Amino acid sequence: MRSFFKSKNDSAPDETLTTNWATNLRRSLSHTRENLGKQLSNVLGGGKIDEAIYEELETVLLTADIGINATTWLLDTLRKQVKQDGLTDAAQLKGALKEALIALLAPLAPLARPLDTSTKKPFIIMLTGVNGVGKTTSIGKLAHYFRSQEKSVLLAAGDTFRAAAREQLMIWGERNNVSVVSQENSNQQKGDPAAVIFDAINAAKARSIDIVLADTAGRLTTQLHLMEEIKKIKRVIAKANTDAPHEVLLVLDANTGQNAISQVKAFDDALGVTGLILTKLDGTAKGGVIAAIARQRQQNPIPLRFIGVGEDMKDLRLFDAREFVDALFD
């Protein structure tokens, strides 16, 4: 039996994502900054630029989970810059490194490729990713974000697998005053995620809703039957609405480190990922993983739509490469 949770009132929250952005971001990135920024300051404090400095830099970048490919790219770019500008003092390297990192991250920034949900109605967004990365929480945050833009939102409880996943999404629905379409689970039968999302899309059409956010169960990329299931979910969404889903968001946990790279590849191969959310940047010293992702997709970047910097519904930020790097370094 399908159930339908209806919100009590439809008033939009008044907060936006931009409040005190720089301060909050700096605070959120404090672990990574302490790890990366402080070590960099030590290495680049002064003295002559020599091979030893590059070696120390390499170690620092690798410990922040920037990964070997991105680290090599950054160091190559730095060497060229040093030659070109005739830099001699190690202290000058910091600025050059910042610019190189911004250049690497910039293609991920949604400012260049914004997520425009006004092109379709309903605009259908599905979220996917491995277990526990923050998919459901990100849906709560996204609902808040879109509601603050006066858009109507409907949530689809497409995680019919994990116990209490439905209730968790209902709570986010209540907090945001938005409706949730879900399926009552019986003990004998697990629900059908594709069917729930299909129903939600039809409900959204009938009610002239702007945006559908579809939750899905966490899955490991090695669980091939579950990777087949998520492909099926996407196919069924297309049956409800031929050009949907309009956005396939892969949620990544910043603590994952270099494994994020293989997650991007596996989910992209299965689904064609159109955007990323990187969560838990507040709790990690490994925020450098963002550079590893940027390097992996340098020729063919997937926009980093949002970053997650806490557990609250307001802890979602648009990604801006320069602000991000400034918050990391200074």
Residues found near ligand GTP in the complex (CB under 6 A)? 129, 131-137, 159, 162, 165, 218, 279-280, 282-283, 308-311, 315
CA angle at 322 for the pair 318 and 326, rounded to the nearest 5°? 105
What residue number has its CB nearest to ligand GTP? 218
Compare residues 135 and 151 and give the one whose CB is closer to Mg ion: 135
Q: Find which of Mg ion, ligand GTP, none residue 132 binds, CB within 5 to 8 Å per kind.
A: ligand GTP
Give the whole-angstrom CA distance, residue 304 versus residue 323. Answer: 14
Q: Which residue is nearest to Mg ion (CB)?
A: 136
Tokens describing residue 173: 């629905």
**At CA 156, angle to CA 184 and CA 260, rounded to 5?**
115
In the complex with ligand GTP, the residue whose CB is nearer, 109 or 249, is 249
- Cβ closer to ligand GTP: 162 or 232? 162
Provide, rounded to whole angstroms, the least separation between the CB of residue 56 and ligand GTP.
31
- Number of C-beta neighbours around residue 272 at 10 A: 11
Across-strand partners of 212? 124, 154
- For position 136 contacting Mg ion by CB under 5 A, the verdict is yes
- Out of ligand GTP, Mg ion, none, which partner does residue 310 contact, by CB within 5 to 8 A per kind? ligand GTP
Closest CB to Mg ion among 136 and 179?
136
Select from 44, 122, 133, 135 the one that contacts Mg ion (CB under 5 A). Answer: 135
Tell me the closest approach of the beta carbon of residue 136 to Mg ion, in angstroms.
3
Closer residue to ligand GTP in complex, CB, 132/272: 132
Q: How far is the CB of 84 from ligand GTP (least distance, A)?
A: 39
Shortest distance, CB of residue 161 to Mg ion, whole angstroms?
9
Given phi > 0 = left and psi -120 to 50 = alpha, else beta, which region is 272?
A: left
Would you call the peptide bond into 245 cis, given omega within 30 degrees of 0 as the criterion?
yes
Could you count the other beta carbons within 10 Å of the beta carbon of residue 42?
10
Residue 210 near which of ligand GTP, Mg ion, none (CB within 5-8 Å, type-dependent)? none
What does 131 bind: ligand GTP, Mg ion, none (CB cut-off 5 to 8 Å by kind)?
ligand GTP
**Rounded least distance, CB 191 to ligand GTP, Å:** 14
Please give the Cα distance from 330 to 325 (Å, whole number).
8
What is the four-CA torsion angle of 17, 21, 27, 28, rounded to 10 degrees? 40
Dist CA 253 CA 8 (whole Å): 33
User: Which helix (H) or strand (E) covers residue 157, if one does?
Assistant: strand 153-158
Number of residues forming the site for Mg ion (CB under 5 A): 2
The site partner of 107 among Mg ion, ligand GTP, none (C-beta below 5 to 8 Å per kind) is: none
SS3 (DSSP) at 38: helix
Nearer to Mg ion by Cβ, of 65 and 215: the residue is 215
Nearer to ligand GTP, 28 or 152 (CB): 28
Give per-residue burial for 202-229: e unless 16+ CB within 10 Å, then b.
Answer: ebbeeeebbbbbbbbbbbebeeeebbeb
Considering only CA atoms, which of 1, 4, 12, 3 is closest in space to residue 177? 12
**Least CB distance to ligand GTP at residue 237 (A):** 18
309 binds, among Mg ion, ligand GTP, none (CB under 5 to 8 A by kind): ligand GTP
Coil, strand or helix at 82:
helix
Task: State which residue, 78 or 249, has the beta carbon closest to ligand GTP.
Answer: 249
Q: Which does 280 bind (CB under 5 to 8 A by kind): ligand GTP, Mg ion, none?
A: ligand GTP
Binding site for Mg ion (CB under 5 A): 135-136
